[in-house]
Chains A and B, each alone.
Chain A
């Protein structure tokens, strides 16, 4: 009784705070999208379109009240809009299962369009951090219960330890593991550079504890994707670390800890990564990828959303065995790359890879500029953290079909936010230098007795307009 009431009050709090600052509506949308209150509690919130209300408020308040400092048109914006247009075309013109295709299009296109909108509404350091904090604390509701229950009682493949049950979204082990590991670099960044949460030993402990829980959550799902993600995030963090020796020692300690505390069941499941041909779930992935390549050879424009529903995968019977071959119909793509290739063809994959490439370029440019600029350590570390998060998602995504899940597009959008932040900071720097130059000139003019009052213009961009 109290739980639904509490969650409804939190939803209303986002709306009330949005009246004071329009970007709160967009953060409310992120909260609804990630926390999924309609799945967490059964209340009036399940009866109303919570997500649509927040989206309308976010868009409406932006266009009516808050169109300050819009980002310049970027390649990323163009690519994401082209991608949204292309997935609409493939759904309308090339879909092999139109009914299912339009069902997935409905939420996928919203994800794409909202990611295009994020750079317009998230423009300052405070807003970028608020976005990240709300995103990770919303994800906490899915990650923390699994992580804590794994510590207390051990996890298990297919065991439902989270708040949301089922086998889709955050209830699906592989996706949960990928998301949990994606959070790790962001949490380490927030621990070091947070402005919004007071910095002290308690809050530092909360972030470190939360980071440890993300790893135990990934272990507790028993997903092999989690193990691959742990390796990738560990190596990427080590490469980006400024204290490689210390980080290496901690990493080796963590690895020994994982080996000591994980059960035989976990170890035997992980060992199937190497012997995938003897394991149906892993071998099925290889077969579906082969099918996808054959499918796009015939239909280079893809088969629209949910094209996998028409496939038929035949598992060959072991040599010398009398068992008949197993036939599986409608097996999912289990990879973002094959998902996008199968559904939206080569043009769709090219657009998606373009988004990935521009994101990495953005992170690289921002980190390079911030490294050389005094006082920009936060921007450099944030670019590194998000880069590692994106690498982790892309690595895990090679084995799970999360091609249209919001986390990827949030990373793309944040790369634009960071690039925009760098661009405006550079502009402000240039103006400051020009103002300093103009000030020196004004002093020279005054010293010659031509007093014309202040010649120094107010610094543009240094103050909110």
Chain B
């Protein structure tokens, strides 16, 4: 009974830790200040916005009033 319970405990914990590690390793920066897992779950990486309309939409969502300037060009 103890043997079976231990095998279950050991293997379940290993797989639980492994799944969490695979998920978190993709989110938490490798060499940055520590980020708690709860915060890491909230990190949303926006898709690359192509074209000024999409860039403007991203900036409006972020609360700014103007779209960002493209490198080497004046701001619109």
Contact = CB atoms under 8 A, between A and B. Distances in A.
Given A35-B10, A453-B73, A464 B29 contact: yes
B24 interface: yes
Nearest to B32: A462
Given A461-B31, A462-B31, A133 B6 contact: no
A27 B22 CA distance: 11
B72 interface: yes
Interface range, B side: 35 or more
Interface in A64-107: 69
A251 interface: no
A289 B32 CA distance: 49
B31 A424 contact: yes
Given A13-B15, A126-B24, A196-B24, A463 B72 contact: no
B7 A196 contact: no
Nearest to B17: A133
Contacts, number: 133
Interface of A: 3, 6-7, 10, 13-14, 17, 20-21, 23-24, 27, 31, 35, 40, 69, 123-127, 129-130, 133-134, 137-138, 140-141, 144-145, 148-149, 163, 195-197, 375-376, 378, 421, 424-425, 427-428, 451-454, 461-464
CB-CB nearest 10 A-B residue pairs = A130-B21, A424-B31, A124-B30, A137-B13, A453-B71, A133-B17, A141-B10, A21-B22, A196-B20, A126-B25
28 contacts: A6-B8, A13-B18, A17-B18, A21-B21, A21-B26, A23-B21, A23-B25, A24-B21, A35-B14, A125-B28, A125-B34, A127-B21, A130-B17, A130-B25, A133-B14, A137-B9, A137-B17, A144-B2, A144-B6, A195-B28, A195-B37, A196-B37, A197-B16, A197-B20, A424-B30, A453-B69, A453-B72, A464-B30
